[in-house]
Structures are given as structure tokens and as C-alpha cells.
Amino acid sequence: MPISRDNLESAIRGALPIIHLDIIDQSNGCGENYAVFVVSPAFEGKNTLARHRFINEVLKDQIAQMHAFSQKTLTPKQYEVQQSKEA
């Protein structure tokens, strides 16, 4: 059964405070391949592996039904730096 973008968004927003969230269906609408970009103050003091494990745990039921899943997680400060580099 395909996973909806709304289902992913609801699970992520329900698990932690969000500053920025992008969810991209990379499977042309079939819901089997998603990429998420999450910015949250909850990631402060956590390394990338800990952040990814947290998101994987939050979305474990959804990820189990997907073909592929990727994620990028940043703290608000890291996001600010990224935004300033892109400007």
C-alpha cells in the first residue's frame, strides 16, 4: 500500500518540533520512494546518525512499506548557515 506525503508529515510533526520540513515523493506519485529534509531544534547536540535513527524510529511503519527512503536532518543553526550559502 502506498504511503502518502500527508501520513509522513503527520508522523514527523507529531514527534518533534519542526522549523522546516520538505517531503518529496521521488517515485512519481506511487508513494514508494521518499526523501525528507527536516530542520528541528530537537537535533541540537545529536550527531547525524542519532538524528537519522530518531527519524527512522518515528517512521518505521511507513519505511517498512517503501522501496527507498532518504533523509537530511539539520539543526536550525545549520539550516541558517545553509540558507546563507545559497543566497
User: pLDDT of 14-39, one tens digit each?
Assistant: 999 999 999 999 988 788 999 999 99
Q: Which domains does the chain have, with CATH numbers?
A: 5-86 (3.30.300.90)
Position 2 scores a pLDDT of 79
Residues 6+ apart with CB under 8 A from 3: 31, 32, 34, 62, 65, 66
Position 29 scores a pLDDT of 76
- pLDDT < 70 regions, the chain: 1
CA distance 42 to 8: 18
Are 69 and 59 within 8 A, CB to CB?
yes
Position 28 scores a pLDDT of 80
Position 1 scores a pLDDT of 65
Cell of 67: 522501496
**Average pLDDT over all residues of the chain:** 95
